[in-house]
Amino acid sequence: QVKAQRGNALCFFDPQMQIEINHRARLESDLQAALAEGQFELHYQPQFTLGGALVGAEALLRWHHPQRGLVAPSEFITVAEDSGLIVPLGLWVLRTACQQLATWQGDPRSAGLQLSVNVSARQFRQPDFAERVIGVLQQTGARSHLLKLELTESLVLDDVQDSIAKMHLLRTKGVRFSMDDFGTGHSSLAYLTRLPLHQLKIDQSFVRNLGLRHTDDVIVQTIIGMARTLDLEVIAEGVETAEQRDFLASHGCDLYQGYLFGRPMPVAGLEALLSPLSQSQAGQEAR
């Protein structure tokens, strides 16, 4: 039988590997279809001051797969990166986020809200990345200083010259930058000072062990101190307990994001957090 012969010919081949390859190929074509058919959605995780003012949100991508239900980014971002699909997908995220910003701007209760958007390496390395962002801002009418792009250390360090050039161009247009997952990469003060950053985002792996692992306590204190020295805003992600919040607060952390404060939620959920009072507060904070 043909099948058996083929089986013999490929006997050196690990069947588990074939399953993995099939799975990836399937995921890739599903992702492509998903973008065309509008299966993606942005959820928004709120960000607060210690005083409880809502200052903005992080946009987090969600995929409603017709068969598999809600699929987490950890299951598809890497495949989207490897296949290059992250470029059109990332543009969709940016456009959707900026449309949301523009909508919020039209309502005095939400006009000051900032929106953080994750940028992938492959997307950022596109030669026209900065021009694309500027184009989306113009098309949507979103105010550039309310858009915050989240980059990682490895992304920036991968090509420092290119990163600095793009960041400076966007910075002159008003766009802000946050260093996501900060502390997990190979940062040095020397290169941090060369980047036009607005914010450091303490990685949740350090926040998780606050009060439990002394080294993480020290790392978090150091990051907050670094932010102070460089005159950057500092936000903690993955804040789940009052103890973590209190530790961060006692060391001067500016902003808070995590399950203790709110999970990523559909836009209606975020808008429900806007009481008339906290909205106007948020507007003033952002100014």
The residues that touch ligand C2E, with contacts defined as CB under 6 A, are 45, 60-61, 72-74, 77, 90, 93, 118-120, 150, 180-181, 204, 237-240, 258-259, 264
Q: Are 216 and 206 in contact (CB under 8 A)?
A: yes
- Whichever of 150 and 153 has its CB closer to Mg ion, that residue is 150
Contact 173, 137 (CB under 8 A): yes
Separation of alpha carbons 77 and 61, rounded Å: 9
What is the bridge-based pairing of β-strands 233-236 and 199-202? parallel
Positions touching Mg ion (CB under 5 A) are 118, 150, 180-181, 237
Residue 111 binds what, of Mg ion, ligand C2E, none (CB under 5 to 8 Å, by partner type)?
none
Rounded distance between C-alpha atoms, residue 194 and residue 215, angstroms: 27
Nearer to ligand C2E, 100 or 118 (CB): 118
Pick what 93 binds: Mg ion, ligand C2E, none; C-beta below 5 to 8 Å, kind-dependent.
ligand C2E
* Minimum distance of ligand C2E from residue 120's CB (angstroms): 4
Supply the minimum distance, in Å, between the C-beta of residue 259 and ligand C2E. Answer: 4
Q: Which amino acid makes up residue 17?
A: M
Q: Are 69 and 39 in contact (CB under 8 A)?
A: no
Q: Which helix (H) or strand (E) holds 226?
A: helix 214-229
Return the number of the residue (58 or 285) whose C-beta is nearest ligand C2E. 58
CB of 287 to ligand C2E, least distance (A): 26
Q: Among ligand C2E, Mg ion, none, what binds residue 250 when CB lies within 5 to 8 Å by partner kind?
A: none
Distance CA 11, CA 180 (A): 45
Using the minimum distance from each CB to Mg ion, give the nearer residue, 150 or 285: 150
